Structure 1
Amino acid sequence: MFAGSMVALVTPFEKDPGGHGGRIDEKALRHLVDLHVKEGTRAIVPVGTTGESATLSHEEHEKVIGIVVEQAAGRVKVLAGTGSNSTEEAVALTRAAQRIGADGALVITPYYNRPTQEGLVRHYETLAARVSFPMVIYNVPARTGVNMLPETVARLAGIQAYVGVKEASGSISQVIDLMDRLEGRMAIYSGDDMLTYPILALGGHGTISVSANLVPRKMADLCDLALSGDLTGSLRIHRELVPLHRALGLETNPIPIKTAMEIAGMIGSFMRLPLVPMDLANRAKLEKVLGSLGIPSGGRR
């Protein structure tokens, strides 16, 4: 249902009196949606980690999804972030995304309370029992404190609602194990830009990418080439983008990607506390990488 390059979309903010992220910048958000449609992104993934969902109110969460759905206007799929560390809240957010008109939901494993593997199964079983909607499981242990093991994901593979899994454990070995256990019953997407090419080469179906915010066409081409069987062409783009992927990991996501987009003249880099502007030394490193990719300060791709 979902395949290719999907962007983990940033949420642009206006500047508040303190210089941090204030109100949602609707005009900039709509512009980003149009950009991704033009540049070949296959699905837009708003209000995830990169979209600063942790600092959005429920009203803002729904507002962002609504803006993206309206602006996409069926030209590209919308996979809305709806996860929570509360099963009840995840149900409510997923129902809201369905009501608003998203095509599916990206549901992160519950964070902070660190459920057991059995707890994860029951969380996702409950969600699927109460919301009839295409969903992608999101495993990102560095953010949540819990690693959803391949055998745990496989227990959910027979549930029709779960169409895929975004795997961001950082372990290729885990991805291989996951593929063996799923046997094609769910799609597998990269949740780590550095591993997108290897995962595609192993049989993955796409990526939910941070880098695609800045270089949507390159990420779209990387995925499209790999999925069409041109692994050599895909590898060429992957190698070109490795320095960017590394630079976007210099600080906590989405600080570097928002800074990069501001440098490129795409959006303001305003973030909500507790996220703060990028360290100047790291910003200089990022600017150097962008320059090497032909994205000069203040310029546009």
Structure 2
Amino acid sequence: MSLTNNYHIAVPTAFHENENLNVDATLEHIRFLEKLGVNSVLLCASTGEQHSLNLSEKIELIESLESLESLDVSSDFEILFGISSIRQIEAEQLASKISRVPQISSVLIGYPPYILPTQKEALNYTTSIIERVNKQAVIYNNPLRTGFDLSIQSYKDLINNHYISGIKEAGNPQKISELNEVIDSPLIYFAGGEKDLEKKICLGYNGLSSITGNLYPLEVKQRFDSLLKKEDTQDYNLLKNKIDKLFEDSPLPIIKSEISKIENINFGICRTPLGN
């Protein structure tokens, strides 16, 4: 089974004013997006918040997804969940928990920040998670955030030996061109956000993981689809101005504030220092 959606929205995590986890508001936002026509979301990744969540908080989020009936989304709605930890044993525990939750379609495996594993250590870390989760996996390489850069050879080793359905490469975009030359498996190559999206698609990216989609879900998807089809006829200036404005400052506090206003929910704050 492979991922059916090449576009997902990386949803932020809601917190109360005391910075405690707010599961209900997080799920409300997911339901809002699904009702608009969004088909896939990514939790606990790509917003920089997951490293502030401890293991029990991540498990609480996972357990909230165990009933699609209570979540109130369609049966074909795709949920991806991020796994990354500075402690491999905790990543493994999270993977084991996710393996028993059929509502989670796939995991996005990121690398721990700061500790700078070797390529061999990173491969062992990734393999250990994949073997426990028993689901399709997307590999997330983000050297700017982690200080670690997965090599082309390591990518090849993982793809040749495990079921990898996608890659989210936030480092050198030229890697996608290189991978396309040496990998036969059909993969979704996710761009992390809309920056330089047109150039990335020319290099072989065919997927989008969007944070700005939390506020402009259908507009971002329409823009992305038109670029993939090489039918870029829509007026992008209005959306571009909105996105540029969003990134003039720290975007996550602004996104959370706008979610609260648009959806009439209390999505809360970021965990400081974000939002200071």
Structure 2, gaps ≥5 residues long: none
1:123-157 CA distance string (max 9 Å, x none): 22233334321111111111111111333212211
In structure 1, what is the equivalent of residue 34 of structure 2? Answer: 37
Q: How does 1:1-301 map to 2 (within 5 A)?
A: 1-2=2-3, 3-16=5-18, 21-26=19-24, 28-50=25-47, 52-68=49-65, 70=68, 71=71, 72-101=73-102, 102-169=104-171, 171-227=172-228, 229-233=229-233, 236=234, 240-252=238-250, 254-262=252-260, 264=262, 267=265, 268-277=267-276
Letter in 2 for 1:261: I
Whole-Å Cα distance in 1 between the matches of residues 223 and 16 of structure 2? 32
Question: Cα gap change, 1:273/1:104 in structure 2, threshold over 3 Å: closer, same or farther?
Answer: same
What's the CA shift for 1:262? 4.3
Question: Cα gap change, 1:141/1:251 in structure 2, threshold over 3 Å: closer, same or farther?
Answer: farther
Question: Cα gap change, 1:50/1:177 in structure 2, threshold over 3 Å: closer, same or farther?
Answer: same
In structure 2, what is the equivalent of residue 293 of structure 1? Answer: none
Aligned-partner SS, 1:276: coil
Letter in 1 for 2:52: T
User: Conserved in 1, the CA contact under 8 Å of 2:173 and 2:203?
Assistant: no
Question: Cα gap change, 1:172/1:242 in structure 2, threshold over 3 Å: closer, same or farther?
Answer: farther
User: Conserved in 1, the CA contact under 8 Å of 2:32 and 2:263?
Assistant: no
Q: Percent identity?
A: 22
1:49-101 CA distance string (max 9 Å, x none): 42722222322212223334531352410000112222222221122122233
Structure 1, gaps ≥5 residues long: 278-301
What's the CA shift for 1:183? 4.0
Whole-Å Cα distance in 2 between the matches of residues 191 and 182 of structure 1? 21
What's the CA shift for 1:223? 3.1
What's the CA shift for 1:25? 4.9
Question: Cα gap change, 1:185/1:124 in structure 2, threshold over 3 Å: closer, same or farther?
Answer: farther
Question: Cα gap change, 1:182/1:243 in structure 2, threshold over 3 Å: closer, same or farther?
Answer: farther
Whole-Å Cα distance in 2 between the matches of residues 270 and 259 of structure 1? 8
User: Conserved in 1, the CA contact under 8 Å of 2:23 and 2:61?
Assistant: no
Aligned-partner SS, 2:20: strand
Whole-Å Cα distance in 2 between the matches of residues 237 and 22 of structure 1? 41
Aligned-partner SS, 1:65: helix
Question: Cα gap change, 1:259/1:147 in structure 2, threshold over 3 Å: closer, same or farther?
Answer: farther
Letter in 2 for 1:151: Q
User: Conserved in 2, the CA contact under 8 Å of 1:190 and 1:207?
Assistant: yes
Question: Cα gap change, 1:84/1:222 in structure 2, threshold over 3 Å: closer, same or farther?
Answer: same
1:103-139 CA distance string (max 9 Å, x none): 1111102222111222222222233334321111111
Aligned-partner SS, 1:194: coil
Letter in 1 for 2:41: I
Question: Cα gap change, 1:25/1:155 in structure 2, threshold over 3 Å: closer, same or farther?
Answer: closer
For these two proteins, the number of residue pairs brought into alignment is: 268
Whole-Å Cα distance in 2 between the matches of residues 261 and 180 of structure 1? 41
Letter in 1 for 2:79: V
Question: Cα gap change, 1:15/1:98 in structure 2, threshold over 3 Å: closer, same or farther?
Answer: same
In structure 2, what is the equivalent of residue 282 of structure 1? Answer: none
Aligned-partner SS, 2:274: coil
Question: Cα gap change, 1:61/1:73 in structure 2, threshold over 3 Å: closer, same or farther?
Answer: farther
Aligned-partner SS, 1:14: coil
Q: CA RMSD in A?
A: 2.6
Aligned-partner SS, 2:196: helix
- Relative to the length of structure 2, the TM-score reads 0.84
User: Conserved in 2, the CA contact under 8 Å of 1:200 and 1:223?
Assistant: no
Question: Cα gap change, 1:89/1:136 in structure 2, threshold over 3 Å: closer, same or farther?
Answer: same
Whole-Å Cα distance in 2 between the matches of residues 260 and 45 of structure 1? 19
User: Conserved in 2, the CA contact under 8 Å of 1:4 and 1:224?
Assistant: no
Letter in 1 for 2:156: A
Letter in 2 for 1:141: P
